[in-house]
Amino acid sequence: MAKKILVLGEVRDNSLRNVSFEAIGAAKAIADGGEIIGLLVGQSVSALAAELIYYGADRVITVEDEKLKQYTPDGYAQAILSVMDVVKPDGIILGHTALGKDVSPKLAAKLNSGLVSDVTTVEAAGGNIVFTRPIYSGKAFEKKIVTDGFILATIRPNNIAPLEKDESRTGEVSSVSVAIKDLRSIIKEVVRKASEGVDLSEAKVVISGGRGVKSADGFKLLKEMADVLGGAVGASRGACDADYCDYSLQIGQTGKVVTPDLYIACGISGAIQHLAGMSNSKVIVAINKDPEANIFNVADYGIVGDLFEVVPLLTEEFKKLLINA
């Protein structure tokens, strides 16, 4: 049966995160020919509405208020719930990002609804919606089948393909006025420590370093390779603890979870906590001097050697391939 699905478009630095378009792709599988409604919350976000329509939204609703300039769970929950009162959707899809992970349980509590989080695939089967999500730190997967009722889910970035962009698509863009009040938290200043460039959680290529990188200077080699491949730099907990890089780069059970097309692990032993954050990458390449390192057990390709020799050689080869491409 056709459904009306609301999709939250996530804005960062005045542009839409790619997971917003992936969420539309997931909503399309759920809607079964129904309506996809994009939702933009923030300040001066209406200019981004057309992008959601190009990627498959049928129409877009915006909620703009100075109090929504910075994310707060209370402010966003008020905005989303107010829009839901207007459009009466059958479900809402968000990205499994810091924002989505924070606000979705609040929505579930307010709506007295279930929540399927960290979804990697969505499919319709026999009138039901089947969500697949990893459990036990990625060691296994479970299927959640929704047979009836409201659908609330968050999707893991870089897993569900967005629909093809079509700039000829058109759709209505409207606004809903919401009185944002009784905020229990106010953001006065945002101090960014994340690395510049490609968003680590959405990067198609991740070059990651462990204790084997030995120093902050060692990470410069990884940054150079990442720049060549248009990717992002990540790190193991050990590298962060050793002050080789900032904790914003940490990948693992207590850090970010990434699923890039290509993950290159440099000087990483492969502790289970790190594997929990990257083992679902599509192609894993491991570079380590120890042939017995655990990382080789999950790698598709392994290079036994000194990363300080191997990484520069690979970077040069990548440069040649890209020049000749």
Which amino acids are annotated as binding site, given as ranges?
A: 211, 236-237, 250-254, 267-274, 288
| CA–CA distance, 221 with 225 (Å, rounded to integer) | 6
Annotated binding site for FAD: 211, 236-237, 250-254, 267-274, 288
206: which DSSP letter? E
Q: How many CB atoms lie within 10 A of CB 208?
A: 32
Q: What is the CA radius of gyration of the chain?
A: 21
Which residues, 6+ apart, have CB-to-CB distance to 109 below 8 Å? none
The answer to whether 16 touches 62, Cβ cutoff 8 Å, is: no
> How far is Cα 114 from Cα 278, in angstroms, rounded to an integer?
27
Tell me the C-alpha distance between 314 and 296, whole Å: 18
Rounded distance, CA 233 to CA 241, Å? 16
Length of the chain: 325
- What does DSSP assign to residue 168? T
* Cα distance between residue 247 and residue 79, in whole Å: 32
Alpha helix stretches (DSSP H) within 211-260? 218-229, 237-241
- Phi then psi dihedrals of residue 165, to 5 deg: -70, 130
Strands (E), the chain: 5-9, 11-12, 15-16, 36-42, 59-64, 91-95, 116-119, 121-125, 128-135, 140-146, 151-155, 172-175, 205-209, 232-235, 262-266, 283-288, 301-304
